[in-house]
Amino acid sequence: MGRTGLSCAALTMFALVGCGRPPEDRAEALRQAAGRGNAAEVKSLIARGADLTARDATGKTVLFNALGNREVVELLLTHGADINAQDRSGFTPLHTALRSRTSDVARLLIGRGAQVHTQSHDGETPLHTASELGDTEIVRLLVRRGAEVDAATQTGDTPLLRAARQGHHDIAQHLIAEGADVDAWGITLVPGGEKFQNPLHAAIECDHRHLVQLLLDSGADVDAKDRLGRSPAVRAMQKNQKRVVAALAAAGADLTIHLAAYLGDMAAAKRLMKAGADVNLRDDLQRIPLHYAAGQGRKEVAELLIANGAEVNATDNDKRTPLHYAIEHVEVAKVLADHGAGLNTEDRLGETPLRKAVFHGDKEVVDLLIARGAAIDLHLAAYIGRRDKVKELLASGVDIDVRREQVDPSMLAELWAVYRKAPPRPSEARADTPLHRAVQGGHTDVVEFLVGAGADLTAQGNTGQTALHDAAYLGFAQVAEVLISHGADVNAVAENHQGRGQTSLQIAARCGHTATVALLIANGADVDAEDTQGNSALFYAWERGFADIVALLGGDANDPSLAERRPYTAIIRNPSAIGQILSPSEYDDVWIPAQTDIEGLDAVLKSHLTENTAIRTRTSVNREHLLANLRCYCREYIGFIYDGRSYLLCNMFITTYPETPDEERFRWESDGSPSPKRVIFDAKNRSVASIDERYLAFY
């Protein structure tokens, strides 16, 4: 049967739909299809005449869009797509595939003839990209294809410098074996400025100890100075990289008076001073040798420096004296105090040596400084449990309910410079009293003394909480009992506590403090009270999976959903996973613990936090937050060896809905504080070696 003119016209129109589009529409359709990885649609559009050379606003051709799909890339190359097309920044598809970490596509492009020498407008070659991102196999392939190992960007960056910054040891080793210059200098852009580095300086800056050793073994200049005149050893010293400094010294680094003080090398210090070294010479951080001797606990060198005229009250860029740095070394602190060190000198953050020792140092140093007459206020005395000082201060007329000291207006500019934001300034009506601080320290005797002396049990602290709310939060049942026996209101609401307006019972239930929950119920706490979100204590106990507290509150302790919400404990069995938690310089080897190795560590940690109320575990971790929520944390363990000693690393995080543990990798969750906690236990002594927050350095 013949076709009518109308039907023929319709068929022709249908066949030409793609061709009838404007060229720019066909190009856009092709880009979208390539980005989706739709090979059939890409093939159809090419057949209809879509332009493979058309570029988008950034100068990219369709090949850039296809880099996530090998099949589409092959299709485009088969139809003549320019494999070396550059976008407006000068990057090629090969650069982009490497930056997108699509190694299979990068291999395809190299195999199909992509140029390995092409530089972007800032001078970056594919080898720079692969070296920075740690793709060892691609680096080897690029070098085999003739990539220049010493190609430099406009700022002087070489592939080796990129690898050194990221700690890619194997890549650095290969590049060096291929002739890379181990002393080439380049500029690294950093927030607020730039750094002039060579590979050795870069490895030190990023704390890559094993890479430092590789570079030294490969002939790197051990004394090469940056634009601030700092040698590698000086920079490692400033960053307190003990083993790196030792390695550099062993490699023949020039020992300055600062380095001799840091290392405790008496012979070198004497030799340098005899040769005329200035004991008060300042480095670029304005530190004199005595700062470093104090920080490393080098008592004999400190005495030698002082005997030769070192200024015991010299301040550095942070306005810290040597005594500020001696807070973990009581013998050095004694030497400094004996020679007139200022006990009450404030640093840029307003911290005296005593305050630094309380929150970041050693209890012996705290006791020493107080005994020598360091000024202590009522809040600090209450927090560290010094009942004698509390009594003495009250006798001198200090108000028992004085609010926490306010920020000195003269310090605002300094604090702004450090934090880039104004510090918190609690109102007088909402700031912790000495009673709050005694409770937070867990000192039952001081709490009893303050309450007996008339401390206000209804005073509201920083978050609108009373002292009883603090005791409930931290799980200090004995402290709570003292407060209740003196009339504390068990049903008072902490108006701003985490924005929820909760009672002590709700807080204790949420944190999993069974004994405190039982005490509050026995003393008339309202088990049905709801916070501003409409949640009761029972809800919070159920949400966290605390079956024992659910039972105390009248709930069903056999509810199967409780087990699904309970925090888990797991052992990570993939040795390479430790790289998520520790830098290469922080461990020498990895071992996988057995279940018996981690048993009882929870009790060790709780005891450490409870007993060390005066010391925030030598870090800036919020001890109160960690102690209060111990039962809420999931825990993941792995073992490692450092300097011949075995340790257990525990990654701790809070999540409302714990998933099944993955023994291949560590989890990353946020618990409302800056980051998960990293606790390191000494495996032999069964003690806490350190506590900090992952990837967050305060000092």
**CA–CA separation, 171 and 449 (whole Å):** 64
Q: Is the dihedral of CA 323, 326, 330, 331 positive or negative?
A: negative
User: What confidence score (pLDDT) does residue 339 get?
Assistant: 98
Q: Residue ranges of the alpha helices (H) in 384-503?
A: 387-395, 412-419, 434-441, 444-452, 467-474, 477-485
Task: Answer yes or no: is pLDDT of 675 > 90.
Answer: no
CATH code for the domain defined by 22-225: 1.25.40.20
Confidence of residue 695 (pLDDT cuts 50, 70, 90): very low
Range of weakest confidence among 193-197, 289-293, 411-415? 411-415
In this prediction, residue 696 carries a pLDDT of: 34
Q: Average pLDDT, whole number, for the chain?
A: 89
The fraction of the chain above a pLDDT of 70, given in percent, is 89
Q: Would you say residue 611 has pLDDT above 80?
A: no
What is the average pLDDT across 223-236? 94
Q: Is the pLDDT of residue 422 over 70?
A: no
Quote the pLDDT of residue 406: 44
Alpha-carbon gap, residue 242 to 259, rounded angstroms: 11
Fold entry, domain 257-373: 1.25.40
Residue 22 has a pLDDT of 60
pLDDT digits (tens, 9 = 90+) for 438-454: 999 999 999 999 999 99
- Quick one: pLDDT at residue 617? 43
**% of the chain with per-residue pLDDT over 90:** 73
pLDDT digits (tens, 9 = 90+) for 163-197: 999 989 999 999 999 999 999 999 877 666 778 89
Would you say the CATH fold of 376-455 matches that of 22-225?
Answer: yes
pLDDT at position 513 over 60: yes
Domain ranges of the chain: 22-225, 257-373, 376-455, 463-566, 569-693
> Over 50: is that where the pLDDT of 555 sits?
yes
Residue 582 has pLDDT above 80, yes or no: yes
Residue with tokens 């940056």: 226
Average pLDDT for residues 466-477, to the nearest whole number? 96
pLDDT at residue 17 tops 50: no
Domain 463-566 CATH superfamily: Ankyrin repeat-containing domain (1.25.40.20)
Q: pLDDT: is 418 or 58 the higher one?
A: 58
pLDDT of residue 416: 42
Quote the pLDDT of residue 50. 87
Find the helix or strand (DSSP H, E) in which 646 lies: strand 645-653
Least trusted range by pLDDT, from 5-9, 155-159, 179-183, 462-466? 5-9
- For residues 510 and 549, what is the distance between their CA atoms, to the nearest angstrom? 9
C-alpha distances out from residue 8 to 17, 20, 48, 621, Å:
14, 17, 20, 79
Judge whether residue 289 has pLDDT over 60: yes
Q: Determine the pLDDT at residue 15.
A: 39
CATH code reported for the domain at 376-455 = 1.25.40.20
Report strand pairing: 645-653 vs 677-682: antiparallel
Residue 213, pLDDT > 80, answer yes
The kind and range of the H/E element at 693 are: strand 687-693
- Burial zone of 56 (CB within 10 Å; 0-12 exposed, 13-18 middle, 19+ buried): middle
The pLDDT of 351-369, averaged and rounded, is: 90
Confidence at 623, pLDDT banded by 50, 70, 90: confident
Position 497 scores a pLDDT of 54
